[in-house]
Homo-oligomer: A and B are copies of this chain.
Amino acid sequence: MIRPAELIERKRDGGELGAGELRELMLGYARDEIPDYQLAAFCMAVFFRGLTDAETYALTEAMIETGETLDLRSALGRKVVDKHSTGGVGDKTSIAVGPIGAACGVPFAKMSGRGLGHTGGTLDKLESIPGFRVELSTDELVAQVRDVGMAIVGATADLVPADKRLYALRDVTATVDERSLISASIVSKKVAGGAEAIVFDVKVGEGAFMKSREDARALAELMRELCSRFGREAVCLLTDMDQPLGHAVGNALEIREAIATLRGEGPPDFEELVVAAAAHLLALSDLGIDKAEADTRVAQAIADGGAAEAYERWIYAQGGDPDEASLPKAAVVPEVASPRAGYVA
């Protein structure tokens, strides 16, 4: 049996922990045998000392082991893709990228989280759609991806439960913005969720967790390397987040902006990111096409209305009302001047 205080102390003093030790720490935490306060101290020690690549891998593997894993390859007979942002203000990229993938015949499945820190989560945005269900069973998820090509659901409590708890703990103990912990949290969920290829959108700038380009690049490299150790392919895009993406901030407003983008009528900065992410997803998928061909197909899906239709099929399948007119309107929508050309949704 490990003594958690000893592991915390060793990490605090700059030492390295073994894979078996990290595994016991995480499994003990998930079983409620190791309390939150020891993990809080551990995370703060990691904030200052970091984790080696071997430690990050071991931690990620242990986190996955605390719960169920989804084998979408067996269930669907296809290579399922996913797209993930490291969090930023005004980010709704997945809500636009998924339908483009689905329209192009690439199965897209995403387990999403709530907002972390000051950033809103994809689920929070989707729940502004009347009737939309974020909680699907595994069977429902598989059936929906088969039927309409995509799903974005809340990560169930069975999927990396240790991360669910650690994520909430980090949020209230100022230990969110540490590269290894971010990578372990994200990659554990991607691997457990069954995605075989992932496009990561790593935000950088004042509004993001990574304030400098250098930090963002290091995070991207670590996530790519970590995915590869788990046999998953990954591409990382670095995107500026010095100001909100697009022009809308607010759940329903951001859904409107995603819909507009699927019709080719979105704000240019957001559309550029969506198109790039979708093209990378297609190039990583089992369609067997190169990036140039992927670019063409993405442009076509937006131009011919296929992407917008895929969005409607998806929202409808997941219980929501795809009609934009059904989205709630806030009583007050203030216009905030920005250095960019004005745009009010």
Q: Does A4 contact B (CB under 8 A)?
A: yes
* Stretch of A39-47, A266-274, A335-343 contacting B (4+ beta carbons < 8 Å): A39-47
How long is the Cα–Cα vector from A45 to B174 in the complex, in angstroms?
A: 10
* Stretch of A5-13, A63-71, A278-286, A300-308 contacting B (4+ beta carbons < 8 Å): A5-13
Q: Does A35 contact B (CB under 8 A)?
A: yes
* Stretch of A102-110, A165-173, A235-243 contacting B (4+ beta carbons < 8 Å): A165-173
Q: What does the 1/0 interface line of A1-37 toward B look like (CB < 8 Å)?
A: 0001110110010000000000000000000000111
Specify which chain B residues have a CB less than 8 angstroms from the CB of A8 in the assembled complex. 44, 173-174
Cβ-closest chain B residue relative to A171: B5
Copies in the complex: 2
Specify which chain B residues have a CB less than 8 angstroms from the CB of A35 in the assembled complex. 36-37
Chain A stretch 145-189: residues in CB contact (< 8 A) with chain B:
169, 171-175
Cβ-closest chain B residue relative to A46: B44
The answer to whether B9 and A172 touch across the interface, beta carbons within 8 angstroms, is: no
How long is the Cα–Cα vector from A172 to B40 in the complex, in angstroms?
A: 11
Cβ-closest chain B residue relative to A172: B5
Select the residue from A12, A44, A169 with max chain B CB neighbours within 10 A: A44
Specify which chain B residues have a CB less than 8 angstroms from the CB of A5 in the assembled complex. 171-174
How long is the Cα–Cα vector from A174 to B169 in the complex, in angstroms?
A: 18
Which one of B41, B47, B169, B174 lies within 8 Å of A43 (CB-CB)? B41
**Nearest CB on B from A208, distance (A):** 16
Binding site for B on A (CB under 8 A): 4-6, 8-9, 12, 35-41, 43-45, 47-48, 169, 171-175
What are 16 A-B interface contacts by the 8 Å CB criterion? Answer: A5-B171, A5-B174, A6-B174, A8-B44, A36-B37, A37-B39, A37-B40, A38-B40, A38-B172, A40-B41, A40-B44, A41-B41, A41-B43, A41-B44, A41-B173, A44-B45
Given A35-B37, A41-B43, output 5 extra A-B contacts at Cβ < 8 Å. A8-B173, A8-B174, A35-B36, A36-B40, A45-B174
